[in-house]
Amino acid sequence: AQSVTQPDIHITVSEGASLELRCNYSYGATPYLFWYVQSPGQGLQLLLKYFSGDTLVQGIKGFEAEFKRSQSSFNLRKPSVHWSDAAEYFCAVGGIQGAQKLVFGQGTRLTINP
């Protein structure tokens, strides 16, 4: 069955430090991959997506992610985090059986230390 694993439930980094959030997926073909961010009390906002082509994709708010087929990974990165980046981050995989239903990971909660 298709699945998404986000190994880190909670990560704390200092403001200005670099960030990497891990995402591993299980899917039989090249998937559609997404990262979403959820601020407290808010819905989910799309940060970036990968369909095909260049494996390094740029998103909003200075985030990027790299698709590595050999590792079944799609890790999210940011060179320098800001206090406003504190939120819950969800990785998702789609394209399952021709449908657009997305399967989400359990999320990683990011805390920023001043």
> Which listed residue (80, 106, 111, 113) binds another protein by CB under 8 A?
106
User: Based on CB atoms, which residue is closest to another protein, 8 or 104?
Assistant: 104
Using an 8 Å Cβ cutoff, are 75 and 6 in contact?
Answer: no
Using an 8 Å Cβ cutoff, are 61 and 72 in contact?
Answer: no
CA atoms within a 13 Å half-sphere pointing along the CA-CB vector of 97: 5
Q: Which of residues 30-89 bind another protein (CB under 8 A)?
A: 32, 34, 36, 41-46, 49, 51
**Cβ at position 92, least distance to another protein in Å:** 8
SS3 104: strand
Residues lying near another protein in the complex (CB under 8 A): 32, 34, 36, 41-46, 49, 51, 90, 94, 99-107
